[in-house]
Amino acid sequence: MSPLPTREVYALVDADGTVRYIGQSASSRARAARHWDNARRYPDDGRPLAVWLRTLDGPPAFRVLEVVAAADANEAEETWIRRLRRDPVARLVNLRPYEPLTELPGVDPAAVERVRWSVAAVSAAMRGHLVSAETRRRLSLATRGRPKTPEHRAAIAASVTAWHARRRAD
């Protein structure tokens, strides 16, 4: 019988040892290297992680925080993110635009505006883009069971309402 697949929950840290990003991957070393390569390869990428990585002289250090079963990886990653967002020393760039971020001491304030702009730009670029039924199914499976904040629920409701209004207008 083969062992269950595992994932590593890892932290990217700056030169001072401050945690800046939490992620999870089968190989945290390889994933950290891809983050670094992608930040260099795509200089227009405005996501907070890429912006932070481009300020460094070399690849960031990483630490494996926890090794978990693959089925538990998303939950473990979210737990670490929530824990570190409340840490005044951490300066996380893990951001989601629908979350109330400005009150959290462990969030980089400069990154908050960048992520809001980045999401708006992607949303505008994707408006009218057809998404296949298979892609919708995969997105649904990826987010199933994840708790949503009231702000996120309001954003979903507004988006669905706007979609129905556009559909009725056509």
HEC string for 118-169: HHHHHHHHHCCCCCCHHHHHHHHHHHCCCCCCHHHHHHHHHHHHHHHHHHHH
Say what the pTM is.
Answer: 0.61
Q: How far is CA 23 from CA 3, 37, 84, in A?
A: 23, 16, 12
Residue boundaries of the structural domains of the chain? 6-127, 130-170
Looking at the chain, the whole-number percentage of residues with pLDDT higher than 90 is 23
Domain over 6-127 is classified CATH 3.40.640.10: no
What average pLDDT is seen over the chain?
80
Instruction: Give the model's pLDDT for residue 103.
Output: 60
pLDDT tens by residue, 24-56:
999 999 999 999 999 999 888 777 888 889 888
8-state DSSP, 4: P
